[in-house]
Amino acid sequence: MIGWLRGRVVGHGGDGATIVDVHDVGYRVQVASAVSPGVGEEVELFVHTAVREDAIVLYGFATTAERELFELLLAAPGVGPATALGALRTMSVETLTRAIESEDVKTVALIPGVGPKTAGRIVLELKGRLPHEEVVAPALAAVDDALRALGYSASEIRDALEGADLPEDEGEALRAALRLVRRS
């Protein structure tokens, strides 16, 4: 199974797939980040390989935390790969994790294709099973979501904010983060 890829983006498919050239082999990868990397950019993706009767599909993630959450979402009743991928394209790992752990069904229901009943099942199934590797301040999760909404990729955000000391206030934190992202 393929677990990791690093290469250059050579194109995008109409279905949201990104084509990554790794030593002259093009891999078609469904990328989880809200904004796909641009053509010509170098990418590093942690991959979940799904083998079905009719296809082998690669799902790519900027971090192992994204991939782990994707795999946990797949274990929830009523959640397939498209829904799990939509969840990670819609909100950050931190926001989704916080919503599930706090039983915030309304936030979970913001995932495309997920209604209140499925959101409730996701919360019930995953609460307490999510990894708690690091505690993320609510301001940082809000900044991550805002930057994704502005079109920045997960890797751009991660690179710019790594080790940054952001203010507690969400507004000030976002302004500081925008300055950092623009510099990188």
CB-CB contact of 174 with 142 (8 Å): yes
User: What is d(CA 75, CA 71) in angstroms, rounded to the nearest whole number?
Assistant: 7
Tokens of residue 131, six digits:
């990894």
Q: Is residue 9 part of a domain?
A: yes
Domain boundary among 86, 104, 126: 126
We report the CATH number of the domain holding residue 103 as: 1.10.150.20
Q: Is residue 132 part of a domain?
A: no
Q: What is the pTM of this model?
A: 0.68
User: What is d(CA 38, CA 51) in angstroms, rounded to the nearest whole number?
Assistant: 27
Q: What pLDDT score does 139 carry?
A: 63
- Give the model confidence (pLDDT) of 84-127 as tens digits: 888 888 888 888 888 888 888 898 888 888 888 988 888 888 88
We report the CATH number of the domain holding residue 38 as: 2.40.50.140
Q: Is residue 131 part of a domain?
A: no
Tokens of residue 144, six digits:
């991550």
Q: Is residue 45 part of a domain?
A: yes
Q: Count the domains in the chain.
A: 3
Residue 103 vs residue 131, higher pLDDT = 103
Domain that holds residue 15: 4-61
Q: What pLDDT score does 23 carry?
A: 92
**Strands, E assignment, 13-147:** 17-22, 25-31, 42-51, 56-61
